[in-house]
């Protein structure tokens, strides 16, 4: 089946530094989507089975970066309508060039007025929620974009203990601009459960076990890598921060 025709790129004229944006993320411009398949893409895509197989199904990837996850979905669910938004215009333009089977727009999950004006069968956020110090207001914005009977899938770090952790990193080796970077916060599962329950919605956490080999750049201390804790596999980085990745599935 041929891919559905998609509307052209939409420009919304956001400021260069939207909520949760980092200049560090412009590195995705050097990573063609077809060759930037992350190990967790199949894990997340598997949990869309049965939803994106349906006629007329649609998915919105928030924080789509270079469009790599949507490129992956296009191969798995060619009949689905694929859309992506990102707060960095440079990444949106890059994704639109390299993933023609999807439509892209500049949008900031923290600003509802910049997001699409329709709902989707599924809304995904991959390793994005750790950029924010609070669940307000972006989590409500995400859930408002899911159509009745649909799902929101959030993949990233969730603390299994009832403790919310805020993290800032700065490279001390002269790399970067010397600023303190967000992006590694570890909000608790309990915090999400409280907010989701307040909306009367159901949710479930799916445990993620990192693969035996996690590709990372040895020269990049911020690159995620595999380690062990008490004999169990975990992910970490050069900051020594443990990264308990999981998938949060919210039914609307």
pLDDT tens digits, residue range 3-62? Answer: 333 333 333 333 333 345 555 665 665 667 666 788 999 999 999 999 998 999 999 999
Distance from C-alpha of 190 to C-alpha of 161, rounded to nearest angstrom: 8
Distance from C-alpha of 206 to C-alpha of 43, rounded to nearest angstrom: 10
DSSP secondary structure letter of residue 161 = S
- Separation in Å, CA 172 to CA 175, 176, 177, 234: 7, 9, 10, 25
Confidence at residue 20, expressed as pLDDT on a 0 to 100 scale: 57
Q: Within its chain, how far is the Cα of 96 from the centroid?
A: 17
Name the residue among 126, 121, 138 with its Cα closest to residue 252: 121
pTM for this model (two decimals): 0.86
C-beta separation of 12 from 106 below 8 A: yes
Q: Is the peptide bond before 145 cis (omega within 30 degrees of 0)?
A: no
Domain boundaries, the chain: 23-215+244-251
CATH topology of domain 23-215+244-251: Rossmann fold (3.40.50)
């Amino acid at each position: 089946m041929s891919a559905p025709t998609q509307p052209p790129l939409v420009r919304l004229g956001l400021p260069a530094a939207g909520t949760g944006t980092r200049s560090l993320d412009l590195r995705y411009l050097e990573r063609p989507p077809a060759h930037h398949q992350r190990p967790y893409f199949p894990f997340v895509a598997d949990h869309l089975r049965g939803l994106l197989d349906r006629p007329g199904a649609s998915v919105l990837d928030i924080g789509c970066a270079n469009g790599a996850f949507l490129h992956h979905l296009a191969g798995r669910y060619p009949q689905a309508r694929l859309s992506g938004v990102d707060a960095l215009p440079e990444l949106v333009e890059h994704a639109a060039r390299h993933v023609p089977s999807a439509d892209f727009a500049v949008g900031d999950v923290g600003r509802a007025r910049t997001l699409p004006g329709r709902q989707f069968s599924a809304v995904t956020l991959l390793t994005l929620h750790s950029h924010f110090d609070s669940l307000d207001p972006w989590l409500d914005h995400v859930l408002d974009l899911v159509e009745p009977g649909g799902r929101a899938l959030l993949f990233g770090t969730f603390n299994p203990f009832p403790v919310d952790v805020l993290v800032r990193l700065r490279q001390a080796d002269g790399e970067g601009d010397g600023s303190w970077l967000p992006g590694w916060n570890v909000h608790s599962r309990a915090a999400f459960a409280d907010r989701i329950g307040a909306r009367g919605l159901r949710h479930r956490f799916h445990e993620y076990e990192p693969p035996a080999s996690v590709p990372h750049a040895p020269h990049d201390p911020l690159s995620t890598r595999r380690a062990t804790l008490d004999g169990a596999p975990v992910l970490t980085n050069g900051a020594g921060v443990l990264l308990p990745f999981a998938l949060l599935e919210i039914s609307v």
